[in-house]
Amino acid sequence: MLATLAVIGLLAFTAPAAAELKDSVVLRWTFIAQRVGVAQYWAYKQSKGNAAVNADLASAFAVHSVLARTNAALAPTLLDGPLYDEVAKSGVSEAVRDASAALGIKIGIDIATASATDAGLEVSYYRPGYPDSLARDNEYVFTPEQIGAPRDFLLYPNYANGTTFVYPVSKIPGLAAPYLKAPFKFGTPDFEAENKVVLEQGGTYAPNRTAYDTDTARFWLGAVSGSGGQGSAGVTGMVQNISIALLPDTFTPEQQAAFFAKLGTAFYDAIIAVWYVKFKAPRWRPITAIQKYYNASWTPLLGTPQHPEYPSAHQGIFGGGWSVLVRELGGKSDFTFTVKSDWPNIPDRTYNNLATAAAEAGNSRVFAGAHWAQANNDGFALGKAVGEYIYDNIDKVIYGKQSALKW
Ligand SMILES: *[C@@H]1O[C@H](CO)[C@@H](O)[C@H](O)[C@H]1NC(C)=O
Ligand SMILES: *[C@@H]1O[C@H](CO)[C@@H](O)[C@H](O)[C@H]1NC(C)=O
Ligand SMILES: *[C@@H]1O[C@H](CO)[C@@H](O)[C@H](O)[C@H]1NC(C)=O
Ligand SMILES: *[C@@H]1O[C@H](CO)[C@@H](O)[C@H](O)[C@H]1NC(C)=O
C-alpha cells in the first residue's frame, strides 16, 4: 500500500497542472470562514437583474454581516479590513456601494435571525441515562478521557434538534430509521471482526498499524489538538481546498458561490442528520467496549470525541461535502490532486483518484481508535444521501422556513 502510494505520488508530478478556481471575492471570504456559502449565493441570486447593486460586493457584505452577528469578536480585525478592501477593489459609486451593503446586510440578518430561533442553539440537557458503573453493552457512556470531574461534557447534543438549511427536516426521521435499528451489537460476528481490527490498528499500542496509517489518522483529522470538533472543522477545510484545486478556472464568482453554497450546506445538514442518529440511539465508543471486555489498559491513538460513536461525524460531514464535489465534477473520479493537512509536520499527500482519498479518510477513524468501520461506512452513506439531495435541490427549501425536527 505504502509503495503504491509513493508511485502515485511520483507520477503526479508529470500530470498537467489542474486549472483551479480563479481568485475571487467568493474564495477570499470562503477562506475567512467556511460554510458561508449560502450567504454568498443568496447575494448573487438576489442581485440578479438589479443594476443598482454590485453582486460581488453584496456577497462580501452578506458574509461579513453573518459573521459579525454570530462571531462578533472577529469583527474588528479579521472581518472589517477585508470588507474595506473589497469596497475599494470594487470601484463602485457610493450609491451602488450603499445598495449592495443594504442587500448584503439584510441577507446576513435573515440568516442570523433564523439561526437564533433554531433549536440547534438551545441548551440540551442530554446525559447518558445511567452512571458509568452501570453501563450497558452497546450504549453510550462518558469515556475515561473526557474532560471534567464528574465526567459530564458532551459536544453539541443540541445539534440533534437543529434545523437543516436545505435538506427537509421532515425527511430526517425516515432517513435515520435504518441507522437507529443499530444492527451492530457486541457479541455478533460482525462486531467481533471489526473490533479485532480496532484492537490491532486503533490503539496507542497497535501491532498491525503501519507508520503511514498512523499518519493517516492525523492527516485526515486535519486538526492540531485532536478533538472531535476541530477534526471535523479540519476535514471540511480539506474538502474545500480539494474542490478549489479541481474545479475549472472558467467558473464565475456566481458559479463559485453556487458551488460553495451546496458544499457548506451539505456539511451542515449532514451534521444535523448524524447528530440525530447519534443522540437518539447513543452507541458506546471503542474505548468503553474494549476496556470492559478485551483489554482494561487499552487506549486509542487519538482522543475520543465527546459524543456517541455511531455514525461517525467525521465521515458524515466528509461524505456530505464529498458527494457534492463528485457531482460537480460530473461523477468522474480519476483526478490527480494534492492534499495538505493542518496537522503539523505531515507531508502533503497526492492521490490520483477521489475514491482512494475517500477510502483513506474513512479508515483514518479506525486508525485513530475512535470508531468501528461500520460507523464510518454508514456515516459516509448518511452524509452522501444528504449531499446528493442538496446538490439537486439547493433552490427548493430555505433555511429558517422549516419547522423543528420531530424528535
Ligand atoms: C431533542 O428535543 C427533544 C424534545 O424536546 C428532547 O426530548 C431530546 O432530549 C432532545 N435531544 C437532545 C440530544 O437534546
Ligand atoms: C495482524 O498481525 C498478526 C500477527 O502478525 C496477523 O496474524 C494478523 O493476521 C494481522 N491482522 C491484520 C488485520 O492484518
Ligand atoms: C486551504 O487553503 C488556504 C489558502 O491557500 C490555506 O490558508 C489553508 O491552510 C488551507 N487549508 C487546509 C486544510 O489545507
Ligand atoms: C493491552 O493494552 C496495553 C496498552 O496499550 C498494551 O501495552 C498491551 O500489549 C495490550 N495487551 C494485549 C494483550 O494486547
Residue boundaries of the structural domains of the chain: 1-23+169-407, 33-122
User: To the nearest whole number, what is the mean pLDDT of the chain?
Assistant: 88
pLDDT digits (tens, 9 = 90+) for 327-381: 999 999 999 999 999 888 899 999 999 999 999 999 999 999 999 999 999 999 9
Cα separations (Å) of 296 from 198, 247, 262, 292, 293?
A: 15, 48, 44, 6, 7
Q: Compute the distance from residue 295 Cα to the ligand 4 centre, in Å.
A: 6
Q: Which of 340, 341, 349 to mutate to test the pocket of ligand 3 (most atoms within 8 A of CB)?
A: 340
Q: What is the pLDDT of residue 73?
A: 86
23 lines ligand 3 (CB under 6 A): no
279 lines ligand 1 (CB under 6 A): yes
CA distance 84 to 209: 50
| pLDDT band of 291, cuts 50, 70, 90 | very high
CA distance 228 to 244: 25
| pLDDT band of 130, cuts 50, 70, 90 | low
Q: Compute the distance from residue 276 Cα to the ligand 1 centre, in Å.
A: 9
| Ligand 4 atom showing the smallest separation from residue 299 Cα | 5
DSSP at 117 = T
Q: Compute the distance from residue 160 Cα to the ligand 4 centre, in Å.
A: 36
CA distance 316 to 234: 14
Residues 6+ apart with CB under 8 A from 192: none
DSSP at 41 = H
Dihedral pair phi/psi, residue 289, rounded to 5° = -65, -45
Cell numbers placing 265: 450546506
Q: Compute the distance from residue 237 Cα to the ligand 3 centre, in Å.
A: 7
Residue 400: is its pLDDT beyond 70? yes
3-state secondary structure of 371: coil
Q: In 3D, which of 102, 325, 317 has the Cα closest to residue 230?
A: 317
342 lines ligand 3 (CB under 6 A): yes
| pLDDT band of 16, cuts 50, 70, 90 | very low
Note the ligand closest to the C-alpha atom of 243: 3
Q: Which of 208, 209, 372 to mutate to test the pocket of ligand 2 (most atoms within 8 A of CB)?
A: 208
Q: Do the beta carbons of residue 309 and residue 187 sit within 8 Å?
A: no
| Ligand 3 atom showing the smallest separation from residue 222 Cα | 13
Q: What is the pLDDT of residue 355?
A: 97
Q: What is the pLDDT of residue 230?
A: 44
Residue 110: is its pLDDT beyond 60? yes
Note the ligand closest to the C-alpha atom of 242: 3
Stretch 120-133: mean pLDDT, rounded?
78
Q: Compute the distance from residue 142 Cα to the ligand 4 centre, in Å.
A: 22
Lowest mean pLDDT among 143-152, 221-230, 340-349: 221-230
Q: Please, which contacts does 393-396 make with residues 24 or more away whose CB atoms are closer than 8 Å? A: 393/166, 394/41, 394/166, 394/258, 394/261, 394/262, 394/265, 396/166
208 lines ligand 2 (CB under 6 A): yes
Q: Do the beta carbons of residue 269 and residue 321 sit within 8 Å?
A: no
- Residue 327, classified by CB atoms within 10 Å of its CB into exposed (0-12), middle (13-18) or buried (19+), is middle
Residue 224: is its pLDDT beyond 70? no
Residue 9: is its pLDDT beyond 70? no
Any idea how long the chain is? 407
pLDDT digits (tens, 9 = 90+) for 162-209: 999 999 999 999 999 999 986 689 999 999 999 999 999 999 999 999
| pLDDT band of 298, cuts 50, 70, 90 | very high
Q: In 3D, which of 29, 5, 100 has the Cα closest to residue 261?
A: 29
pTM over 0.85: yes
High-pLDDT (> 70) share of the chain, %: 89
Stretch 104-127: mean pLDDT, rounded?
87
Looking at residue 328, its amino acid is: E
Q: What is the pLDDT of residue 276?
A: 97
Q: Which residue has the higher pLDDT, 29 or 377?
A: 377
222 lines ligand 3 (CB under 6 A): yes
Q: Which of 200, 213, 367 to mutate to test the pocket of ligand 2 (most atoms within 8 A of CB)?
A: 200
- Which CATH architecture is the domain 1-23+169-407 placed in? Orthogonal Bundle (1.10)
